Chains A and B, each alone.
Chain A
Amino acid sequence: MFIKDLLTAPVLGFALALAVSMPAAATATPAAGAAQDTGAEIGKAIEGAADKAAADVSAAAEKAAAEAGKGAQAPAPLAAAAAAEAKSSSTADHSKFEELEIDFKSGPEVTLACLKCHTEAAKQIHKTQHWTWEYTNPDTGQKLGKKHVINNFCTSVKSNNTFCSACHIGYGWADDGFDFSSEANVDCIVCHDTTGTYKKLPGLSGHPNYETMEWPPHSGKFRPPTDLKKIAQNVGPTSRKTCGTCHFYGGGGDAVKHGDLDSSLTNPGRYLDVHMDSEGLNFTCSRCHVTDEHEVSGSRYKPTASDEKGARVPGSLDPRNPTTCVACHGNTPHPDKMAKLNDHTRKLACQTCHIPAYARSTLQTKMSWDWSTAGKLDEQGQRIQLKNSAGKVVYDSKKGTFSYDRYVVPEYQWFNGKVNFTLFGDKVSEDSVVKINEFQGDANDPDARIWPVRVFRGKQMYDKGLQTLAVLHTAGDDDAAFWGNYDWDKAMEVGMHSAGSEYSGEFGFVSTEMSWPITHMVSPKEDALECEDCHSDAGRLAGIEGIYLPARDRMTLIDTIGFAVALLALIGVLIHGGIRAILAKREG
């Protein structure tokens, strides 16, 4: 742009003149410039490498699509799977392995075959959060992870393992008796399948169906037995699809839980995610969630809210979590022409401007969940399901009332990476909104940035006597599971007992909020926020405290006095001039 070009020119041209009055400015500028140049070079190098990789990948993808036979007619998941396969640079073709020439009867049998060569894989998995569903936050000492946290979706894994384990990378976690030291129980396939035919079904404790099975239940549709041999012979690297098998469907369905993660990211366009763009950079999840010894980096339990150290160059011995924008882009990612934007990185997370909204595909994400209305049945005593115009369930006897939205503008708040959870046993009451997790940080905290946040609001069960969030036994074939029996007290008793507590006999509902930093669905730069989205009276950061935000903030007293005096001056000169004009006219 013309103006932007001009902007930098005077700065340089006048440096000499300025040197007299502002030596600090003159000396500081070259240093800042040099730092930026380095950043820019790294950026360019990354871009170059990425471009090349993207070109390779898209060429491979095209080839794969063409080979898929009918070209454009090939169903998307198939094409994706083929692309994933084609881009593999693996030195091993698993379909040639004798060890996999077996008609496997179960998942663990496949795992044992995998472990014959990949001898350390299961041991590595055993150490990961994906396996333990447990994480101790070093800052707070809180025991977190799916095993412990009560959320405001399905609320708790405890007593519901047979269903929840459909997203556990193991086989057979049905109850507390699960053997976490068993190597055979590790599910290699769920992350490494490339056929798209592997599906762990809720109710089977993490197993896929080995026999023909009606799915979804009572649908009249039947799933054939899982072809484990074919799957085992076609394993490959993880992909957006394999990670998405669980992470796109969190909360019980596509797009439900996260909003910035849903099945539209399996093959997203550039608009939806500039990095994962399947015809562009085509990042897999693990491009950012760099994984070593099966330990996947980047955690929502202890996110990296600010990354002061800048780009993490290959070869760096710095052990820090690299799953940040900054890890590649550095802290001054904008070109010199937009240098002012680089100043913003001291206060803002990149995501704040670069993810203007989440749930930007056609899929609606869930915005609220009210359990207090659950359990109503129709006149025949049957389960009720009501749907909205988009076909999404807005009431379900099993679960209560939901609301949904798309193109959701995040909420914004200071966040320094520290999160406090309200866990089982922590006191809660109906008088205030219970923060399932609470982001820490404020304007004075050097580690805090303003983050876009998804806040999920709910109303859920708590034990009135114990004043704690409740564990409800929802899923299962027994006569206590809420989903099927609709008996709150029975389901509470079993649920609370599974958490090691006695049910007080009285339950109620508390309002809850759960928060996620929004970090996926990064828009292309042309869709980033405009200045006035925040620099205005009722902008996106209207509720952010502790900073002076030009155009939002002003001392109203100064404005009132300033404009009043200016107005008086104007009136004064108009009167003065008016009298002169009248007199002049009279004198003619």
Chain B
Amino acid sequence: MEKIYIFKRFERFWHWTQALLIITMMITGFEIHGTYSNLGFERAVEWHTLAAWALITLWVFAIFWHFTTGEWKQYVPTTEKVEAMMRYYLTGIFTHAPHPFRVTTLHKHNPLQRLAYLFVKLMINPLIWATGLLYLFYSSWDKWGLGFLNLEWVATAHVIGAFMMLIFFIAHIYLATTGHKPMSHIKAMITGWEEIE
């Protein structure tokens, strides 16, 4: 059994804090959306707003970290082995076929992960950021010359972002169990050390 160190301390802190904040925002967000009643609308808004500012701050640091460390290159998309990865998840995983991708410190995400995370960072996150901030500053639209916007569309776009995040979240949690052993990836995310074959 070989172990390699792939997730550095800040990265792990970023990941788990982000996870906590996103879960909080999904729970409170769908309450604000009116899907259910739990904390009460006022407290749901308070927590959602608080978590939003915290997450924005975290993202500011994370973006800084990605650029200064060069880790952003981990998300450069590639089509190489994408098909092999798909085949692996559809059949290989059941027959103990060898994993088509080998994790290294320089390439810690498999090609499908690269694409998925890039999609999150370039599509889902900016959509949620932009619509969320607009939603938050709704009453300043006129002042900012954004009077042409319509709350219904902004809110709907925000909700679409939320659904994409929810779907990503479900898939992400499950795929986290598809390592060498079910807990391998999760342990790696906690300790930084990934067990590989």
A548 within 8 A of partner (CB): yes
Tell yes or no: B16 within 8 A of A by CB. Answer: no
Alpha-carbon separation in the docked complex, A548 to B37 (Å): 19
Residue of B nearest to A533 (CB): B41
Whether the Cβ atoms of A10 and B50 lie closer than 8 Å is yes
Over the window 31-51 of chain B, the binary record of Cβ atoms lying under 8 Å from chain A Cβ atoms (1 yes, 0 no) is 111110100111101110110
A390 interface contact, C-beta 8 A = no
Q: Which residue of B lies closest to A338 (CB)?
A: B42
Contact A573/B170 with A28-B143, A554-B33, A558-B163 known, Cβ cut-off 8 Å: yes
Pair A24/B43 contact, Cβ less than 8 Å: no
A580 and B42 CA atoms in complex are apart in Å by: 43
Segment from A44-52, A355-363, A561-569 that makes contact with B: A561-569
B1 within 8 A of A: no
Q: Is the CB of A554 within 8 A of B34?
A: yes
Nearest Cβ on chain A to B65's Cβ, whole angstroms: 14
- Closest chain B residue to A340, Cβ basis: B45
Selected A-B contacts with CB under 8 Å, 29 pairs: A3-B47, A7-B50, A10-B53, A13-B57, A14-B57, A18-B56, A24-B144, A25-B137, A530-B41, A530-B42, A532-B40, A535-B32, A537-B34, A548-B150, A548-B155, A550-B33, A551-B31, A551-B33, A553-B34, A553-B152, A558-B156, A558-B163, A559-B35, A562-B159, A565-B163, A565-B167, A569-B171, A579-B94, A580-B178
A34 within 8 A of B: no
A536-B34, A577-B174 as given contacts; A7 in contact with B46, CB under 8 Å: yes
Asked if residues A562 and B56 are in contact (CB atoms below 8 Å), the reply is no
* B77 vs chain A, min Cβ distance (A): 22
CB distance B34 to A552 under 8 Å? yes
A25–B130 CA distance with the chains assembled, in angstroms = 13
Would A577 and B163 be within 8 Å (CB), given that A7-B46, A7-B49, A530-B40 are in contact?
no
Q: Given A7-B50, A18-B56, 8 more contacts at CB 8 Å?
A: A4-B46, A343-B138, A531-B45, A532-B42, A547-B151, A551-B32, A554-B34, A569-B167
Q: Is the CB of B53 within 8 A of A566?
A: no
Residues of A within 8 A of B50 (CB): 3, 6-7, 10
Tell me which residues across on chain B come within 8 A of A346, comparing CB atoms.
Answer: 139
- Chain A residues whose CB sits within 8 angstroms of the CB of B34 once the complex forms: 535-537, 550-554
Question: Is B97 engaged at the interface, CB distance under 8 Å to the other chain?
Answer: no
Given contacts A10-B50, A558-B156, contact A566 B133 (CB under 8 A): no
Answer yes or no: B4 CB below 8 A from chain A CBs. no
Cβ 8 A contact of A536, one of B37, B53, B138:
B37
Residue among A342, A537, A555 with the highest chain B CB neighbour number at 10 A:
A555
A570 interfacial by beta-carbon distance below 8 Å: yes
Indicate whether B160 reaches chain A with its CB closer than 8 angstroms: yes
Nearest first, the 5 closest Cβ-Cβ pairs linking A and B are: A562-B163, A573-B174, A551-B34, A343-B139, A10-B53
Kindly supply a per-residue 1/0 record for chain A positions 191-205, scoring 1 wherever the CB is within 8 Å of any chain B CB and 0 otherwise: 000000000000000
- Chain A hits for B163, CB < 8 A: 558, 561-563, 565-566
Judge if B140 is at the interface, Cβ distance under 8 Å. Answer: yes
Distance A457 CA – B120 CA, assembled complex (angstroms): 56
Q: Is B166 an interface residue (CB 8 A)?
A: yes
B106 at the interface (CB under 8 A from A): no
Whether B56 and A576, one on each chain, are in contact in the complex, defined by CB atoms closer than 8 angstroms, is no
Is B60 an interface residue when CB atoms closer than 8 A count as contact? Answer: yes
Other-chain residue from A17, A530, A536, A563 in contact with B57 (beta carbon distance below 8 A): A17
The answer to whether B93 has its CB under 8 Å from any CB of chain A is yes
B54 within 8 A of A: yes
Within 8 Å of chain B (Cβ to Cβ): is A22? yes
Q: How far is the CA of A563 from the CA of B33 in the complex (A)?
A: 13
- The verdict on A290 contacting chain B, using a C-beta distance below 8 Å, is no
Query: A92 at the A/B interface (Cβ < 8 Å)?
Result: no
In the bound assembly, the distance between CA atoms of A24 and B177 in angstroms comes to 43
- The answer on a CB contact under 8 Å between A28 and B177 is no
Question: How far, in Å, is B85 (CB) from chain A's closest CB?
Answer: 14
Instruction: Tell me, rounded to whole Å, the shortest Cβ–Cβ distance linking B97 to chain A.
Output: 12
Report yes or no: B41 in contact with A28, Cβ–Cβ below 8 A: no
Q: Any chain B CB within 8 A of the CB of A583? A: yes
User: B170, A569: Cβ atoms under 8 Å?
Assistant: yes
* B166, A562: Cβ atoms closer than 8 Å: yes
A14–B53 CA distance with the chains assembled, in angstroms: 8
A1-39 residues at the B interface, CB under 8 angstroms: 3-4, 6-7, 10-11, 13-14, 17-18, 22, 24-25, 28, 32
State how many angstroms separate the Cβ of A424 from the closest Cβ of chain B.
44
- Known contacts A548-B152, A550-B32: A566-B41 contact under CB 8 Å: no
8 A Cβ contacts from B87-113 to A: 89, 93-94
Nearest-CB distance from B62 to chain A (Å)?
12
Q: How far is the CA of A332 from the CA of B37 in the complex (A)?
A: 29
A555 touches B156 (CB 8 A): yes
| Residue of B with least CB distance to A346 | B139
Taken together as a complex, chains A and B put the C-alpha atoms of A18 and B89 apart, in Å, by 41
The closest CB in chain B to the CB of A343 belongs to B139
A-facing residues in B145-180 (Cβ within 8 Å): 150-152, 155-156, 159-160, 162-163, 166-167, 170-171, 174, 177-178
Closest to B160 in A: A558
- Chain A residues near B57: list those with CB within 8 A: 10, 13-14, 17
Candidate in A4, A13, A573 with the most chain B CB atoms within 10 angstroms: A573
In the complex, are the beta carbons of A548 and B151 less than 8 A apart? yes
Are A531 and B42 within 8 A (Cβ)?
Answer: yes
With both chains docked as a complex, state the minimum distance between the C-beta of B149 and any C-beta of chain A, in angstroms. 11
Residue of A nearest to B139 (CB): A343
Q: Complex formed: what's the CA distance from A59 to B151 in Å?
A: 52
Residues of the B chain whose Cβ atoms lie less than 8 Å from the Cβ of A565: 163, 167
A14 touches B56 (CB 8 A): yes
Question: Is B46 a contact partner of A532 (Cβ separation < 8 A)?
Answer: no
Provide the residues of chain A in CB contact with B47, threshold 8 Å.
3
Among A10, A28, A530, A570, which residue has the most Cβ atoms of chain B within 10 A? A10
Q: B37 contacts which of A3, A532, A547 (Cβ < 8 Å)?
A: A532
Q: Closest approach, in angstroms, between the C-beta of A574 and any C-beta of chain B?
A: 8
Closest chain A CB from B135 CB (angstroms)? 8
Report the bound CA distance from A550 to B46 in whole Å: 14
Note all chain B residues with C-beta closer than 8 A to A342: 139
For B152, the closest partner residue in chain A by CB is A548
Shortest B92–chain A CB gap in Å is: 12
B136 → A minimal CB distance (Å): 9
Distance A159 CA – B37 CA, assembled complex (angstroms): 57
Chain A residue nearest to B31 in the complex (CB):
A551
Given A7-B49, A14-B53, A573-B171, A28 and B144 touching (CB < 8 A)?
yes
A444 to B194, CA, bound (A): 58
In the complex formed, the residue of B with least CB distance to A24 is B144
Q: Is the CB of B160 within 8 A of A562?
A: yes
A580 contact set on B, CB distance < 8 A: 93-94, 178
Known: A6-B50, A10-B57. A566 touches B33 (CB 8 A): no
